[in-house]
């Protein structure tokens, strides 16, 4: 039993160390400076502060306090930053498609949420499910946006009657007909 607890504590310490290194390596320099300042003033490691903040947000979402706002912030802040980083690259890569797909999903989810607001308010745990879906789409280890693009959006585009009509239209004939009128 004691060995099992030590193993769990070791895994927890390892996870916290990994979070700390990600906070100080994968974030912009100004944010790293803020982390250092917060640590100095509070005398608490930043990973504990971030973890506490995330737990507080989760409790608020599950309690329904500001859940809509929190889900929109979660769905916007990191993806907006990541999209801006990609836009700064000289040549777009595969992640550009993933972020475009993410934004289509985010907008569609917001649209459905607004249109069916009365229904959404009656769905238990809607906002935790929404946040989970957004995280699944945005985090690169899950590749949810890629899955949506390959399995849903590409199917919609291929079978769209609008696309079929536009592809079969003859632009030269349309110009000639306009000249005749």
The reported pLDDT for the residue numbered 57 is 93
The C-alpha atoms of residue 127 and residue 135 are separated, in whole angstroms, by 12
Average of per-residue pLDDT across 78-87: 90
Q: Is the pLDDT of residue 177 over 80?
A: no
The answer to whether 97 and 149 are in contact (CB under 8 A) is: yes
Residue given tokens 């803020």 in the structure block? 34
User: What are the start-end ranges of the H helices in the chain?
Assistant: 2-25, 29-42, 46-63, 67-87, 94-115, 117-120, 126-138, 144-148, 154-158, 161-168, 171-180
CA distance 149 to 164: 20
| C-alpha torsion angle, residues 98, 99, 101, 105 (rounded to 10) | 130
Q: Which of 37-51, 92-106, 121-135 has the lowest mean pLDDT?
A: 92-106
pTM for this structure? 0.72
Determine contact, residues 98/149, Cβ cutoff 8 Å.
yes
Question: What is the average per-residue pLDDT within 50-73?
Answer: 94
Confidence of residue 173 (pLDDT cuts 50, 70, 90): low
Cα 56–74–12 angle (5° rounding)? 50
Tell me how far apart the alpha carbons of residues 33 and 166 are, in angstroms, rounded to a whole number: 53
Could you read off the pLDDT of 6-27 as tens digits, one per residue? Answer: 777 788 888 888 888 888 887 7
pLDDT of residue 8: 74
Determine the Cα–Cα distance for residues 181 and 173; give it in Å rounded to an integer: 13
Which of the four pLDDT bands, split at 50, 70 and 90, describes residue 164? Answer: low
pLDDT at 132 over 60: yes
């Amino acid at each position: 039993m004691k060995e099992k607890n030590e193993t769990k504590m070791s895994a927890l310490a390892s996870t916290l160390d990994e979070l700390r290194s990600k906070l100080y390596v994968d974030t912009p320099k100004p944010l790293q400076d803020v982390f250092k300042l917060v640590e100095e003033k509070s005398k608490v490691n930043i990973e504990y502060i971030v973890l506490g903040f995330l737990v507080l947000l989760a409790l608020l979402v599950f309690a329904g306090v500001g859940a809509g706002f929190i889900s929109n912030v979660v769905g916007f802040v990191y993806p907006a930053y990541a999209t801006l980083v990609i836009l700064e690259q000289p040549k777009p890569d595969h992640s550009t498609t993933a972020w475009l797909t993410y934004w289509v999903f985010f907008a569609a989810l917001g649209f459905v949420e607004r249109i069916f607001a009365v229904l959404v308010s009656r769905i238990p745990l809607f906002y935790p499910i929404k946040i989970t879906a957004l995280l699944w789409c945005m985090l690169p280890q899950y590749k949810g946006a890629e899955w949506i693009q390959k399995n849903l959006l590409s199917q919609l585009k291929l079978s769209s009657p609008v696309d079929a009509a536009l592809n079969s239209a003859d632009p030269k004939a349309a110009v000639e007909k306009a000249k005749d009128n």
